[in-house]
Amino acid sequence: MPFGERAVLVTFAERVDAGANARARALADAWERRVGPAVPAYASTLLHYDPLALPAASALRLARRLASRARARTVVRPTIEIPVRYGGPDLADVARLSNASVDEIVALHAGREYRVYFLGFMPGFAYLGDLDPRIVAPRLPSPRTRVAVGSVAVAGAQTAVYPFASPGGWRLIGTTDVALFDPARERPALLAEGDRVRFVPA
Amino acid sequence: MIEVLLPGARATIQDAGRVRGLRDGVPTAGPADRVAHATANALVGNDPGAAAIEIVGLPFVCRATRPLLVAAAGRDVRLVVRDTVPGWTCAFVRAGDEVRVEGRSRYAYLAIAGGIDVPAALGSRSSYPQASLGPAALAAGARVRTLTVPAEVARAGATAAAPDYAAVPRVVVGPHEDRVDARAFLAASFVVDERSDRMGVRLRGEPLPTRGGELVTAGMAEGAVQVPGGGEPIVLLADHQTTGGYPVVATVIAADLPLVAQREPGEEIRFAPISLRDAVAELQRVRYRVFAVRDARSD
C-alpha cells in the first residue's frame, strides 16, 4: 500500500515471523535489483521509488508481483560470536521475572544461536531472535534516557546490542566491547540480515 | 576554498543524502529542507544534489579564498557580501570577500559553485555526526574545499522563486489509517514543539486516539506522520530512524515537507489531504523548477 508518493509498504504478516521476515528480505533484494532502495523489517518491506521515473500505479503493481514471488532463500551466513560480560543493571530483575537464577538466565541467553531479522533504530542495531521463552523480559515501563554503548539488551522475544549510547526501553543484562558500527570499516555494520549470532560469556 | 569564521549554532555539510546504509539502520541524512538545498545548488549551476552547507542558527560568516559563485536559500535568509543580496539569488564573491548569511530561517543553505569537496562515506557527503559518518560539523576556522569549476559569472543575479512557507502542507493519507483516524488528524490544528530537530518535527495538540497499540516494527519514510501512544504526532525529517513502531496516519508530500521542517517552535500548523496523483504532479513541478533554474541560459 502507498506510503506517501515515493514509497510502498508491503506487509507479509502482522507479527514477528521468521518466514515472513525471509520473504520481506527477499523482496528487498528483488526491489533493489530492479528499482531502488528498500528496507525490510520483521515482516514487511518498505520500497522506495521515484514516481517521476516509475509511475505510482506501476510501482504498486510491480511491488505486488515481486511480493508474491518473494521466497526465502537458503544462504549460509557466518556465525558471529560476541563476547559479553553479563551483569547489566536489569539482569537480577530479568532473573526474578523469569523465576530463574542469574546464572540460569546467562546460560539461556548464551546457550542458543540467534538470527538477525533486520537492522534499524540506529546504525548497526540488529534485531536478534528468538529468545528462549523461559526468559521473561517485558520492556521497561519508562525508557532509560541513556543506555551505554555496547549494552546487551533483551525485550520480548528479542535481544540486541546498542551500537551507540541512546535512550532505550530494553532490559540490560550485559556489556560487550565489540564495535557494532565502525564508520572506518568498509562495511561499518558488524552484523547483517540473516547472520547467525552467539553470545559468549567473557 | 572558504574559511568559516562564524558557524552559527550548527553548520553541517549535506548532499542529497545516503541510501547505501538504509538496510544497516543508517538514516539518509541530507538537508531538512530539500527544496531550498536543491534550488541553492541550481542557482550556482550545481547538480541539485551537490554538497552544500546547512546552517541552523544564523548568522553564518565565511571568507572566500578565491572568486566564487554562491547562493543562499531558506525560509527567511539573505546574503551580505559587499551589499545585501536577497535569498534565492546567485551572487559573485571576490577572493578575500566576507560572506555573511543572515535571517531567521530555521534551516538555511549556502551553496557554492562546484559543490563542496569532502570524501564520501557510504556513497554520500552528508554529515551524520551521530555515527561519525561524513564530514564533521563545521567549526570556526574550518576550511572547506570546493570543486573548481569555470566561473559562470553571468549567473550572478539569477533568482529563483521560494516556496510559500506559510502554506498548508499537504499529505497523502495512510498507510495506517486503520489505527489512527485520518479525519481527526486533518481536522486538528497543532503547535510545533521546541524539541523538534532534524529527526522530526514534534507537534503538540489535542491527542489523536490510536487503536491496536504499537505496530510490528516496519520501515519508515521521510514525511511520515507518526502517532505515538500519547497521540501527539511527529513528522519525520532527514535524520529519522530507518524503522519505527508507531502507526503512520499520513505522509507529508515531498514538495511540502520543507514547509513543515521550516516551521518555528510555537507556530501553528495543520494539514490538508492530496491524492497520490496530485502529489506526484507537485513533485514534478518542484523538480522541473529546480532543473529550469540550473539550466537557465547563463550568457
ipTM: 0.95
pLDDT in tens, B229-255: 889 999 999 999 999 999 999 999 999
**B288 min Cα distance to partner chain A (Å):** 11
Of A5, A37, A39, nearest to B253 by CB-CB distance is A5
B156 touches chain A (CB under 8 A): no
- Residues within 8 A of A (CB atoms), B 60-119 only: none
Q: Looking at residues B48-67, what average pLDDT do you find?
A: 97
Nearest alpha-carbon partner for B227 in B239, B243, B240, B245:
B245
Of A45, A52, A187, nearest to B219 by CB-CB distance is A45
Q: What is the distance between the alpha carbons of residues B138 and B225, in angstroms, rounded to a whole number?
A: 31
A132: its cell numbers:
528462549
- Give residue B213's region: left, alpha or beta (phi > 0; psi -120 to 50): left
Phi, psi torsion values for B92, nearest 5 degrees: -95, 135
3-state helix, strand, coil in chain B (%, to 5): 15, 30, 55
Contacts of B277 in chain A (CB under 8 A): 56
pLDDT in tens, B87-131: 999 999 999 999 999 999 999 999 999 999 999 999 999 999 999
For residue A149, the chain B residue with the least C-alpha distance is: B131
Nearest alpha-carbon partner for B224 in B203, B206, B240, B204:
B240
Q: Looking at residues A10-25, what average pLDDT do you find?
A: 95
Check pLDDT > 80 for residue B206.
Answer: yes
Q: Is the CB of residue A197 less than 8 Å from the CB of residue A189? A: no
Which pLDDT belongs to residue B297?
Answer: 61
Confidence band, pLDDT 50/70/90 cuts, at residue B154: confident
Check pLDDT > 60 for residue B298.
Answer: no
Helix (H, G, I), strand (E, B) or coil at B129: helix
Q: Is the CB of residue A5 less than 8 Å from the CB of residue B253? A: yes
Percent above pLDDT 70 for chain B:
99
The sign of the CA dihedral A136, A138, A139, A140 is negative
Largest separation between any pair of C-alpha atoms in chain A: 59
Confidence band, pLDDT 50/70/90 cuts, at residue B173: very high
Phi, psi torsion values for A23, nearest 5 degrees: -65, -40
B252 touches chain A (CB under 8 A): yes
pLDDT in tens, A45-87: 999 999 999 999 999 999 999 999 998 877 788 899 999 999 9
B283 touches chain A (CB under 8 A): yes
The sign of the CA dihedral B177, B179, B185, B187 is positive
Contact B218 A44 (CB under 8 A): yes
Which pLDDT belongs to residue A14?
Answer: 92
Contacts of B135 in chain A (CB under 8 A): none
Task: Kindly report which listed range (A137-146, B176-185, B221-230, B244-253) carries the lowest average pLDDT score.
Answer: A137-146
Percent above pLDDT 90 for chain B:
92
Nearest alpha-carbon partner for A116 in A108, A105, A128, A101:
A128
Alpha helix segments (H runs only) across chain A:
18-34, 56-69, 91-97, 102-110
Phi, psi torsion values for A21, nearest 5 degrees: -65, -40
pLDDT in tens, A114-128: 999 999 999 999 999
Q: What is the distance between the alpha carbons of residues A48 and B219, in angstroms, rounded to a whole number?
A: 10
**B7 min Cα distance to partner chain A (Å):** 25
Q: How far is CA A42 from CA A17, A184, B51, B215, in A?
A: 7, 28, 34, 11
Q: What is the distance between the alpha carbons of residues B238 and A121, in angstroms, rounded to a whole number?
A: 14
Q: Is the CB of residue B224 less than 8 Å from the CB of residue A4? A: yes
Q: How far is CA B246 from CA B199, B224, B271, in A?
A: 15, 10, 19
Q: Looking at residues B69-84, what average pLDDT do you find?
A: 96
Q: Which amino acid is at B276?
A: L
Nearest alpha-carbon partner for B76 in B202, B258, B262:
B262
Which pLDDT belongs to residue A13?
Answer: 95
